[in-house]
Amino acid sequence: MKTSTSDQTHPVDQARRALGEAALRLLSEMPYAECDLENIIAATEVEADLAKRLYQDKLEVVETGLAHFDEDLAATLASDIADDQVSTVREKIFEGLIQRFEAYRPHKAAIRALNAASVSNPKIALTMVNRLNHAMAQLLEVTGGGGVGLAGKMRAKGLTGVCLTVLKDWLRD
């Protein structure tokens, strides 16, 4: 089931990635409440039995999709700034935040749907904030901003706050 050099992963990992991408795609088209695990499975070529063994609910699938997206984004940013000896860490972090919002543009409707659903479902809100906090820790690691240890966790939480503040305007844009 290996399709390319960059996608030479275990079939289960490929199934997780496909399901996560499908969940984000579907959430761009419908409210969270209308999207279910069956819809997500139907939007992929993943066998239903395997998908149901991997995931018990749609929020897990959505989180997986966001995690893969964030990992890919961190890898892209790392390669973009690998040879940058001129920019400061602060400039690299700022560039990373800009790249993040630009990369998420195709999924803006999905983020909007998740935010709307999180108002009545604290589990969604907690999942989304934890995912964003993890992504900010990745951003700090990639840019040399110190994303590890207690100080790194505090920096990541600060960046999460910045992102949440900007998110409101980004969603209205």
Q: What is the pLDDT of residue 146?
A: 84
pLDDT at 82 over 60: yes
For residues 103 and 115, give the distance between their C-alpha atoms in angstroms, rounded to a whole number.
Answer: 18
For residues 166 and 173, give the distance between their C-alpha atoms in angstroms, rounded to a whole number.
Answer: 11
pLDDT at 5 over 60: no
> Do 83 and 135 touch, CB atoms closer than 8 A?
no
Q: Tell me the pLDDT band of 156, cut-offs 50, 70 and 90.
A: very high
- Dump pLDDT digits (tens) for 21-69: 999 999 999 999 999 999 999 999 999 999 999 999 999 999 999 999 9
Q: Tell me the pLDDT band of 4, cut-offs 50, 70 and 90.
A: very low
pTM of the predicted model, to two decimals? Answer: 0.88
Over residues 139-151, mean pLDDT: 89
With 0-12 CB in 10 A as exposed, 13-18 as middle and 19+ as buried, what is 98?
exposed
